[in-house]
Structure 1
Amino acid sequence: ARSRTVGELLAPTSPFDKKCGRENWTVAFAPDGSYFAWSQGHRIVKLVPWSQCLNNFLLHGTKNVANSISVRLSRQNSDSSQKNKPCEHIIDCGDIVWSLAFGSSVPEKQSRCVNIEWHRFKFGQDQLLLATGLNNGRIKIWDVYTGKLLLNLMDHTEVVRDLTFAPDGSLILVSASRDKTLRVWDLKDDGNMMKVLRGHQNWVYGCAFSPDSSILCSVGASKAVFLWDMDKYSMIRKLEGHHNDVVACEFSPDGALLATASYDTRVYVWDPHIGVILMEFGHLFPPPTPIFAGGANDRWVRSVSFSHDGLHIASLADDKMVRFWRIDEEYPVQVAPLNNGLCCTFSTDGSVLAAGQDGSVYFWATPKQVSSLQHLCRMAIRRVMPTSLVKNLPIPSKMVEFLCYQI
């Protein structure tokens, strides 16, 4: 099946605009669904209220898709204060932007309350930040509501390739760089750098927190997939299986699965607690043998994203296709065309996929499916129980396999 286009955001072009430097390496949604941000190429990041985007899409058709989303957003934001009413910002970061991440002082899961004490900036408990990683190794932190620069973090010596905030509202930021390191920053302590994580022998392409903020996954060149304990800042394990550079990673909403995308034409879905590959989504048929998977081909997977329903994964590859997969099916359930795509991510409510390409962004409606009660129960259990505890439960083996995503 072919995915339905919801809309697009096109970057302005000038007659003498160079192609190089216009790449859109990153797109991001705010945790509360209020904003969407993307790099327009060169030094510019655009921050747009997501409800405004949807209203613009409504003017160009696809009313049934966008209207249902805007209704949901209006309900989400109805209780928010008017002082933080979203407005559009264009931010000049001073250098080519490689990475973006939203950080909120409000925990994504309200069960974990974190007390935020700002040192230099006296903000409320509803602070929303945008971190931008630049070509010169700097990380700039912006106030999303005002568009003002708050912090300038300088420690990396190469391109900051990816950024991720801890989902617990602590405003802990992790950056991944071509200088082969990950750095942990505490933004509530004036951007103090807490730790340098070393272990990668080559460029670090991406990083992602588990939903409970206890584990960090980092991926990079030389087939590297590392898992880190973020309480002790120590490596838990290295995941072996890819045959080429690994460029993207993301945890499932319950933290029980980890998706990684690689230039070896595959997306692997792992059990991060035991380091086992549970699923493989191939983008080249027949799959290349290990000796050929390390070479250049037109099926390199550039990006992967986990939907918030825990059932669907989106991948973006060099064969000019976006694919939507179900975690229990071998072949894509939907596809969509996209030339030169570089990044993709699901919206906060999982109803839209955004994909970036040459300074522009394209949006598709995601596959709709009502989650079964069994799957919802599985996600609720796996949010609080790692695989080792699940396997010790006094329940039938088939139930254990289901809870471990093995059937």
Structure 2
Amino acid sequence: MSVILCTAGYDHTIRFWEALSGICSRTIQHPDSQVNRLCISPDKRFLAAAGHHTVKLYDIKSTNPNPLLTFEGHTGNVTGVAFHCEGKWMVTSSEDGTVKIWETRSGTIQRSYNHGSAANDVVIHPNQGEIISCDRGGSVRVWDLAENNCSHQLIPEEDVSVSSVTVASDGSLLCAANNAGNVFVWQLLTTYERTQLVPVTHFSAHKEYITRVLLSPDVKKLATCSADHTAKIWEVANVAATPPSDESSSSSLSAAGAVVSPFMSNGTTTSINGHHDPEKTNGTDGSNGSSSVTAGEPKPYPLEATLTGHQRWVWDCAFSADSAYLVTACSDHYARLWELHSQQVIRQYNGHHRGAVCVALNDYSEAR
């Protein structure tokens, strides 16, 4: 199977598709709960399906419908999942407010980090030494695995849930999106073996919730999915705002290296919305007081395409390896394959009888 494409959602099934024909080649039952997120291991051997409280690991090349392993330890919906580049470990985020690192072979928890608010998404930096997660309280956190702590906390917009994060395949950019429909972009710089985050731009991308933000493999496009029934493609362009002065830039770094977003100042604690009780942060949570930075008004990324035709919320998306195609998953039960150059749907995947909320695609060559 050179192309692995799978979708899942609220009908308690995981479906594998022949990408070009649109034929469903295999269906796995997931009776315990809906499936919130899917992730294919880099070697295409395993599929991780994140559900309510658990992540189930399936053998892609086997016809066995049962999971090889069930990762148990979360107490809420698992909202994000990602594999280490060699598949040795896996990271998850959950509505229980934690981000957990798991040993893939045994399913044991290696580390657990506390957000103090429901965690919505998590990604692994290409350097495999940092993970980046976001939460309902409005924070984006960078966790340094070598130091075993939170090295940066960003609050792009006060009291607005950050729904999704994505990091560039070359480690150059970090993007986050929130429930107000806004996108925030930082440049990632490594100096003296420490990552610094420099604001690039922020802009209003949708008038409704953004459910997913994703950088393309070639880092030339940014996809956003939304409750407004559309997905949009943005050109990743050099649109940096006027840089802050040296004085204000230096004041944005606390002694512990935590950076506060210049898009919104914050104090030493994270603001949490009324639905979740805040937990007092401590040193391991990386809550460090620091002043904000005022930068020039940034320009938004240019809009390349608005992908219309979905009938309900667009929940998730995945780029092809060549960045020329995008697969979207929607509450209208369908997944769609888009050719980005023509902005046309070239394949629709029909089979789910409830909302399709997650999609995973791995079409990289076996020599990768």
The answer, yes or no, to whether TM exceeds 0.5 is yes
Contact 2:220 2:236 in 1 (8 A): yes
Q: Following the alignment from structure 1 to structure 2, what is the Cα–Cα distance between the partners of residues 280 and 300?
A: 14
Gaps of 5+ in 1: 14-21, 58-86, 107-125, 285-297, 352-407
Which of 135, 140, 146 in structure 2 is aligned with 1:188? 146
Letter in 1 for 2:166: A
Letter in 1 for 2:27: E
Which of 45, 67, 80 in structure 2 is aligned with 1:100? 80
1:89 correspondence with 2:69: yes
Describe how 1:120-159 pairs up with structure 2 within 5 A: 128-154=88-114, 156-159=115-118
Contact 2:53 2:78 in 1 (8 A): no
- The CA deviation at 1:303 is 1.2
- The CA deviation at 1:199 is 1.0
1:241 correspondence with 2:205: yes
Distance 1:246 1:127, change over 3 A: closer
Describe how 1:206-355 pairs up with structure 2 within 5 A: 206-231=164-189, 232-274=196-238, 275-283=301-309, 298-337=311-350, 338=352, 339-347=354-362, 349=364
Q: Following the alignment from structure 1 to structure 2, what is the Cα–Cα distance between the partners of residues 48 and 207?
A: 25
Aligned to 2:125: 166
Supply the RMSD in Å over aligned alpha carbons: 2.2
Q: TM-score, normalised by structure 2?
A: 0.70
Q: Following the alignment from structure 1 to structure 2, what is the Cα–Cα distance between the partners of residues 319 and 350?
A: 31
Deviations 1:322-379 (A, max 9, x none): 111001123200001232111112125389xxxxxxxxxxxxxxxxxxxxxxxxxxxx
- The CA deviation at 1:160 is 0.8
Using the aligned pairs only, state the percent identity.
20
- The CA deviation at 1:222 is 0.7
Count of aligned residue pairs for this structure pair: 275
Deviations 1:248-290 (A, max 9, x none): 0111111111111111221111112241011121125xxxxxx
Describe how 1:360-379 pairs up with structure 2 within 5 A: none
- The CA deviation at 1:48 is 2.2
Q: Following the alignment from structure 2 to structure 1, what is the Cα–Cα distance between the partners of residues 188 and 106?
A: 31
Aligned to 2:253: none
Q: TM-score, normalised by structure 1?
A: 0.63
1:37 correspondence with 2:17: no
Gaps of 5+ in 2: 1-19, 190-195, 239-300
- The CA deviation at 1:12 is 3.3
Q: Which has the higher helix share?
A: 1
Instruction: State the SS of the aligned residue for 1:349.
Output: coil
Distance 1:188 1:47, change over 3 A: farther
